A and B are shown apart, each in its own frame.
Chain A
């Protein structure tokens, strides 16, 4: 007999947090970078957050596509949950990036392609939530269109360091990492992604429960009307 859903979920949570703890230990044990020293450790936090911002935007667009063209309610819930996570992890990128930049470049912010496109992607995720909440009768379809337009920005964020003259480190920096750093980086990436999946499933369960409550309320109202 398969384990009940709640047990499987708790196991996934425990695994994700164990991985996160392990990643923290690995980041602590990783050797400091030669020129930047301890500041470079932001990298283990910043890069996974940036990857999750892009993943969130992509998943939100996928969910929106399913909702818009197939009327999938689940797709809509996935799009909303992913957009919320996009805002959360985007905030992590936009806070950790400038902290590193102040130490490495001497300024918190530079107007260059990677920073601008990441900021825009984050703003689009915030706009998605705004559209969802205040968009009126067509809010969900409007938000879905926004998520699909936002998806155009994802390749722009990823390839911006190659297409434009950029002072942001290149995407190839990962393959140049020392052995101690590489392990910590991949572990941190896996832990963050695990955390993302756990948060997504929690949010999806909450949204599903919310939809069920609304359905029950409607049924209750109908029953009361019939009674009276």
Chain B
């Protein structure tokens, strides 16, 4: 049963990643939009930057770029299922709905993570921040923060599949829900970017907080995906 679930999940995720690997549409658009977001912030804040606030600003920009471009990934990965009503075929296939959710989650998560690596490098250059002081913790925060965002986003993006005002609504509905996780991620990131931080205790606290919210979001996502998407 568990083996089957995992196999189906990987099949769905593999399908999405293979389509993306051929066109690279989402990856390139996301990476370009993320770079633009970081640049806009860099122009806007260039004169106001107080060196002491540098790590906080850099962490904020990193997560703002992640949040804004993550919405693009969510929109596009689910949008592909709308073309030729592919979602109907996917829902009719003998795959548990929760495995479809998990597969989509993995695909969005990996795409976002790939773009975040580029964003981190760009932030380190444009905001002169020592971003790789704690690479292990940074990877962990990026993964947990992105997982929380994607776990919630996939449910809402799938539910909005047939809505005409989907692009306008996705961000408006998703951001209030994911802000607690992203606040935690941004606090943890700011602390590890700060060379003057006395210790990494706050990072550990926020990591635990992120882990707990991720567990809740994923559990809710697995549970709610079927009734939300297959109600008709």
Contact of B220 among A120, A134, A137, A149 (CB under 8 A): A149
Residues of B within 8 A of A139 (CB): 163
The CA of A120 and the CA of B181, in the complex, are separated in Å by: 12
Residues of A within 8 A of B217 (CB): 149, 152
Interface with B: A10-18, A33-41, A43-51, A140-148, which one? A140-148
Per-residue contact bits, chain A 109-131, to B (CB 8 Å; 1 contact, 0 not): 00000001100100110110011
Contact A127 B231 (CB under 8 A): no
The CA of A116 and the CA of B179, in the complex, are separated in Å by: 10
The CA of A130 and the CA of B168, in the complex, are separated in Å by: 11
Contact B228 A141 (CB under 8 A): yes
Residues of A within 8 A of B164 (CB): 136
Contact A131 B228 (CB under 8 A): no
B177 closest partner in A (C-beta): A149
Contact B176 A69 (CB under 8 A): no
Contact B160 A138 (CB under 8 A): yes
Residues of A within 8 A of B176 (CB): 120, 123-124, 126-127, 150
Please provide the chain A residues from 12 to 68 with a CB less than 8 Å away from any CB of chain B in the complex.
68
The CA of A123 and the CA of B180, in the complex, are separated in Å by: 12
Residues of A within 8 A of B168 (CB): 134
Name the residue in B160, B168, B176, B220 with the highest tally of chain A Cβ atoms < 10 Å from its Cβ. B176
B156 proximal to A (CB < 8 A): yes
* A137/B232 contact (C-beta < 8 A), A142-B156, A152-B220 known: yes
- Closest Cβ–Cβ distance, residue B207 to chain A (whole Å): 15
The CA of A123 and the CA of B169, in the complex, are separated in Å by: 13
The CA of A126 and the CA of B172, in the complex, are separated in Å by: 10
Residues of B within 8 A of A120 (CB): 176, 179-180
Residues of B within 8 A of A69 (CB): 227
Contact B163 A134 (CB under 8 A): yes
Contact B172 A135 (CB under 8 A): no
Which residues in A have some Cβ–Cβ distance to B below 8 Å? 68-69, 116-117, 120, 123-124, 126-127, 130-131, 134-139, 141-142, 144-146, 148-150, 152-153, 156
Can you spell out 20 A-B residue pairs with CB atoms less than 8 angstroms apart?
A: A68-B228, A116-B183, A117-B180, A120-B179, A123-B176, A124-B177, A127-B177, A135-B159, A135-B169, A136-B162, A136-B164, A137-B232, A138-B162, A138-B228, A141-B159, A141-B228, A142-B159, A142-B160, A146-B156, A150-B176
List the 6 shortest-distance A-B pairs measured between CB atoms, nearest first: A136-B163, A123-B176, A142-B159, A68-B227, A124-B176, A141-B231
